Amino acid sequence: MADDHFENIYAHHAVEYEALVTREDYEGRLPRALHNIARFNNAEVVEFGAGTGRLTVMLAPHVARIRAYDKSEHMLAVARARLERMGLANWQTAAGDNRALPVEDACADVAIEGWSFGHLMFTPSWQADINAALGEMLRVARPGGVAIVIETLGTGSETPAPPAEELRTLYQHLEEELGFSAMAIRTDYRFESLEEAERLARFFFGDELADRVLREKLLILPECTGIWWKRI
């Protein structure tokens, strides 16, 4: 699916996007995996591409401070509203480009991104863009800290695999050239009704998957997620 489809969503459809991601990982596998990789208790965290705050909200109750950045103020407005409802004071959100975050060197125990870096692979300048983003992640992580990348390994399939050659290139770069460790987990969606499943799948993933959801009556939609991490 063309990346301008996702750019439109991130610029104008934060509420619908949030409705989708709240249905993912109904078994809570992602937070368990992250806590096995890194120590979040009392940690300083810098988050790249925070979106509507899915990871921010997950991590904020555990950390000393989390600074979350995204280039879309539209998405960050939803994140701020969610964090304000939690009544915590240990967070900050601000506009920021993954390739040049306005934060100091070696300031984070955990530098983390979720479902954001992958979009850089679909631009003509992808090599420079992804190297800049990964360089920023390694720059802000302090010695003894950890850099964590979270990206999709396929929607609608029970077998993890990069859903596009561009993403395969990214994942190989992380593992083979930068020395990141990797794991795959299931983060399946569970919807409250078939109508909701079809509507949200069509909104984000397109007609082919939405038609399959209706045809197979999928209230649980398989999702495979990859986690890559490197200790600094």
What confidence score (pLDDT) does residue 111 get?
98
Which of 178, 69, 168 shows the shortest CA–CA distance to 113? 69
Residue 100 confidence (pLDDT) above 60: yes
What mean pLDDT value characterizes the chain? 96
Tens digits of residue pLDDT in 51-97? 999 999 999 999 999 999 999 999 999 999 999 999 999 999 999 99
Tens digits of residue pLDDT in 153-186? 999 999 999 999 999 999 999 999 999 999 999 9
3-state DSSP assignment of residue 30: helix
Tens digits of residue pLDDT in 1-17? 556 777 788 888 889 99
**Separation of alpha carbons 118 and 157, rounded Å:** 19
What confidence score (pLDDT) does residue 207 get?
97
Helices vs. strands in the chain: H and E counts, helices first = 9, 9
What confidence score (pLDDT) does residue 4 get?
73
Write down the domain spans for the chain: 3-188+224-231
What confidence score (pLDDT) does residue 2 get?
53
Q: Are 194 and 211 in contact (CB under 8 A)?
A: no
Instruction: Quote the percentage of the chain above a pLDDT of 70.
Output: 99
What confidence score (pLDDT) does residue 12 get?
83
- CATH fold, domain 3-188+224-231, is Rossmann fold (3.40.50)
Q: Kindly report the backbone phi and psi dihedral angles of residue 75, in degrees, each rounded to the nearest multiple of 5, phi listed first.
A: -70, -40
**Separation of alpha carbons 29 and 26, rounded Å:** 8
What confidence score (pLDDT) does residue 215 get?
98
What confidence score (pLDDT) does residue 6 get?
78
Sheet bearing 91-95, strands edge to edge: 91-95, 65-70, 44-48, 108-114, 141-155, 223-231, 181-186
